[in-house]
Structure 1
Amino acid sequence: MTRAWVLPMLFGFCGSAVAAGLILRGSPGAAAALLLVFVLLAGVNSPLMFPRSIGALEAERRSAADGRPVVFWRPGCKYCIRLRIRLGRSARQLHWVDIWRDPAGAAAVRAANDGNETVPTVLVAGRPHTNPDPAWVREQLLPSA
């Protein structure tokens, strides 16, 4: 669980250190702007940006019941962040599994990707799709006509 917070904490620490240096040099405005950028980077890379994760077995059970896709992800993954941002509010309709917190989720991703933990891996109707286009994922949420 702590591994998910390493990158956001690193952004926060580095931003604070650089901002402190800028303040000591007499540039409080630049320090505030730079600190804001680092805080935003920390937020985007934190697990807080993603909907609440559940276990892989529970996600697959829910997906079988409601037909919504399962997204396997991990904190700090730029492709996962891209998918989350581009999905917008519809991301909350998906079932999210953090593979760093769930060994069964990591195993499912390795099984789908020749032993690699390549994320995001989206499971739609029991079939895995590695790093799919966010527009395609959004289409999978639309009810069948």
Structure 2
Amino acid sequence: MQILPPKAMHAYLEAAKTQDLLPIFYPKLVSGLRKGELVALRWDDVDIRSKTISVGKQYIRNPDGSLELTRPKTENSVRLVSIPQTAVNLLIQEHSKHPDGPYLFLSPITGEMYHPDSVVNLLLKDAGLPHIRFHDLRRTFAQLSRTA
């Protein structure tokens, strides 16, 4: 397990911006959402006035490879997450790209929800930056939250 070093955070965010993935990576970094929670987000889960995301579902991959929409991992995982205005702005920007789409984040290739496992490799593989697992961004969030 790794934590994204603060000095490298800017490089990762710039790479996400270059690849038009900042609306998915920045909210991940500032919210600590799991990948399955992130891809299951719908626009109605976002409250732009109160700057919160309501987390009440996630997509998981079953042993046979199929996806299933479930409640989050634990009851404590059903929560309201505060996000900064920058993240709200990015989510509004993302929503405007496909306002009639069912999910907040849609793959530009398939027009469908991102698969939870594919979202892991979207940025890091192509950015020429040291590898960090997508889940490690959740650990980075936890570390930043403790020091803030």
TM-score computed with the length of structure 2 as normaliser: 0.28
Larger Rg: 1
Structure 1 or 2: larger helix share?
1
The answer to which structure, 1 or 2, has the higher relative contact order (CA under 8 A, 6+ apart) is: 2
